[in-house]
Chain A
Amino acid sequence: MRVIENPRLRAILRYGIPFVLIPALVALSAVLFEGQRYLIISIGIVVLALLLFMTGFEKRNIGSRRMVITAIMTALAVFGRFIPLFKPITAICVMTAIYLGAEAGFFCGSLSVLISNIWFGQGPWTPFQMLGFGLIGLIAGYLSRVLLRSNALLLLYGVIAGVAYSFIMDVWTVLWYAGGFDWGLYTAAILSALPFTALYAVSNVVFLLLLRKPVGNKLNRIKIKYGV
């Protein structure tokens, strides 16, 4: 899906973000803020990274069918976030990614967070969550051949995704709270989030186990029947 229509602007963003804008932000933080304001810099870099991923998808047209199905899977992920405690969002993103490709996985992850946060509360954490879930989808899409073949590896991916997501979001919690990184506070945050981390990992595994066969079959059927 081509996010930005103008080819020149797209080229500028593609090369400008990693080679000019992000280094400039880091240099700015070192010079202007004397390396103090981690939070504002990290939010800036995360937003730029999101932009980079979104503008990086080059293929002209993903086709209206694939687009509609991606939208439906995104809606399912949003719908699933309303289930108390156990959240199937990772499982649905991974399923979308391995059947419809990395691009669809990225959009399913990032947009479902953006939409569900309309109800759960938008905040400076939204870009971080979007990038986190987007990457879970993107990486699953790149590993799709392996993940489709082996059930055990798929479940392992679910566990790793849950734990990694939690650890990364804890970095954000510490940055927001303390304004800088502190190992003591980070350990405290990880320890206090341990039940949630376990819950993430368990619900990822449970939902991947539950959804793999039925949802996989349905997506496969749609792919074969309509040639998505």
Chain B
Amino acid sequence: MRFEQLNPFTVAVYYLCVLGIIMFSMNPLLIGIALLTSVLSAVIGGTADKKAHLFSLAVFLIAALLNPIFVHKGATPLFFFNDNPITLEATVYGLCAAGMLTAALYRLRDLSRVMTSDRVLYLFGRFSPQIALLLSMAIRYTALLRVRWRRICDSQRALGLFDDGNLIDAVRGRARVLSILITWTLENGIVTAESMESRGYGTGRRTSFAVYRVHKYDVIVMLICFLLTALSAVGVYYSKAVFYPALTMDLLNPWGITAAAGFTVLSVLPLIINGKEAIRWRLLLSKT
């Protein structure tokens, strides 16, 4: 099973673990690993195009510059700018924060791609069927509104009621389309509500359908996730990374190395799972 096909709960737990460590560790070694592995996963998974990479680069540069310019804590001034010291500590912290932000953004882009609306619905349906119903109706209406918007626009345009070339005319036409859209959908919604009621909505417990099941594989992946996260967290706790007032780093003690190793494996877990599947697929093909 590919990583994206696992139970949404497992996927959510995985991303929570990875993002948790990326965002809360503030450990230069782990942030370096996170940055490398996130870019690597994005490149291998093909989730980010050139524009996305450039955007991330811009975020990194801006974030790295912001801290030394505005924060003047730290014991080692590098040089003075407008009578304000630019310190080594603030610069290093800025680099780390920028790496953290960029890595987190890459991971969040992955998460958004994997967490489609049906999966979000599945996760919330567990928590409360009422919210799940409201969510599923809202998602459905979002799609429906788009279809109806285009339909009304087309018919109004075909009737010659507004001209796209004329700005004022176009805006007024759009306003009329919006008005029609809202009236139509609200009236239609009442019909939906009537239909729901006549079919017995609210008379009993509401259940919802889901295509996802919890397999043994999900449990195993989740356990591995928790184990690696615990290893990294304990390692981060025992290795020292203090930025202010002076840099005090003790990253390469046994605990620090454990954290780094655990986090590396955790970061590339989806790649490992998908790689295993790819190899198995090749083997199956070669046998036939």
Do the two shown chains form a genuine complex with each other? Answer: yes
Q: Which residues of A contact B (CB under 8 A)?
A: 1-5, 37, 39-40, 54, 61, 63-65, 67-72, 74-76, 78-79, 107, 111-112, 114-115, 117-119, 121-124, 176-179, 182, 184-185, 188, 210, 214-215, 218-219, 222, 226
In the complex, chain B residues 110-133 whose Cβ is within 8 Å of any chain A Cβ: 111-112, 115-117, 120, 128-131, 133
Ordered by A's residue number, 6 sampled pairs between the chains whose C-beta atoms are within 8 Å are: A67-B193, A75-B138, A75-B142, A79-B142, A178-B71, A214-B179
- What is the CB-to-nearest-CB distance from B136 to chain A, in angstroms, rounded to a whole number? 9
User: Is the pair A222, B66 in contact by a Cβ cutoff of 8 Å?
Assistant: no
Taking CB atoms, residues of chain B closer than 8 Å to A70 are 134
Give which listed residue, A3, A37, A78, contacts B131 with CB less than 8 A: A3
Report the minimal beta-carbon distance from A44 to chain B, rounded to whole angstroms: 11
Measured CA separation A97–B193 after assembly (Å) = 20
Contact B189 A71 (CB under 8 A): yes
Residues of B within 8 A of A2 (CB): 130
Q: Is B209 an interface residue (CB 8 A)?
A: no
Interface size counted on chain B using CB atoms at 8 A: 54
B281 at the binding interface (Cβ < 8 Å): no
Give the 5 A-B residue pairs with the shortest CB-CB distance, closest first: A75-B141, A71-B137, A74-B138, A65-B193, A68-B189
With A69-B190, A75-B141 given, can you name 20 additional A-B contacts, CB distance below 8 Å?
Answer: A1-B134, A3-B128, A5-B129, A63-B193, A64-B196, A65-B189, A68-B192, A69-B189, A75-B140, A75-B145, A111-B131, A118-B115, A121-B109, A122-B108, A122-B112, A182-B71, A218-B182, A218-B183, A219-B186, A222-B186
On whether the beta carbons of A111 and B135 are closer than 8 Å, the reply is yes
Q: Are B120 and A184 closer than 8 Å at their CB atoms?
A: no
Query: When the two chains form their complex, are residues B138 and A115 in contact, meaning their CB atoms are under 8 A apart?
Result: yes
- Chain A CB within 8 A of B163 CB: no
Report A192 CB to chain B, min CB distance, Å: 9
Q: A191 to B146: give the CA distance in the assembly, Å.
A: 36
- CB within 8 Å for A69 and B134 given contacts A118-B112, A121-B112, A122-B111: no
Q: Which residues of B contact A111 (CB under 8 A)?
A: 131, 134-135, 138
The docked-state distance in angstroms from the alpha carbon of A124 to that of B120 is 15
A139 to B66, CA, bound (A): 35
| Chain B CB within 10 Å, residue with most, of A3, A67, A124 | A67
Q: Tell me the bound Cα distance from A123 to B71 in angstroms.
A: 26
CA distance A228 to B104 in the complex (A): 44
Q: A1-B130, A64-B201, A214-B179 are in contact. Are A72 and B141 (CB under 8 A)?
A: yes
Name the CB-closest residue of B to A121: B112
B135–A114 contact, CB under 8 A?
A: yes
A162 to B144, CA, bound (A): 29
Tell me, in angstroms, the Cα distance from A41 to B101 when the chains sit together: 18
**CA distance in complex: A72, B101 (Å):** 35
Q: Determine if A118 and B182 form an interchain contact, defined as CB atoms under 8 angstroms apart.
A: no
- Tell me which residues across on chain A come within 8 A of B196, comparing CB atoms: 64, 68
Complex-state Cα separation, A215 to B197, whole angstroms: 26
Q: Is the Cβ of A3 less than 8 Å from the Cβ of B189?
A: no
Contact of A121 (CB < 8 Å), options: B108, B129, B142, B144: B108
Contact at A61–B142, with CB atoms within 8 Å?
no
Q: Which residues does chain A contribute within 8 Å of B227, judged by CB atoms?
A: none
**Across-interface contacts of B137 in A (CB, < 8 A):** 67-68, 71, 75
B50 CB-CB contact with A under 8 Å: no
Question: Given A68-B137, A123-B108, A185-B71, is A54 in contact with B197 using a C-beta cutoff of 8 Å?
Answer: no
B136's nearest neighbour on chain A, judged by CB, is A71
Bound CA span A176–B185, Å: 40
Bound together, the chains give a CA A1 to CA B232 distance in angstroms of 42
A185 to B69, CA, bound (A): 10
Chain B residues, CB < 8 A from A74:
134, 138, 141
Contact A107 B141 (CB under 8 A): no
Shortest beta-carbon distance, A169 to chain B, in Å?
A: 15
Residues of B within 8 A of A39 (CB): 23-24
Interface residues of B in 89-119 (CB under 8 A from A): 97, 101, 104, 108-109, 111-112, 115-117
Docked Cα-Cα span, A39 to B25, in Å, equals 11
Closest to B111 in A: A122
A5 touches B134 (CB 8 A): no
Pick from A76, A124, A184: contact of B71, CB under 8 Å: A184
Residues on B with beta carbons closer than 8 Å to the beta carbon of A61: 202
Complex CA–CA separation, A2 to B71 (angstroms) = 48
The distance from the CB of A12 to the nearest CB of chain B, in whole angstroms, is 15
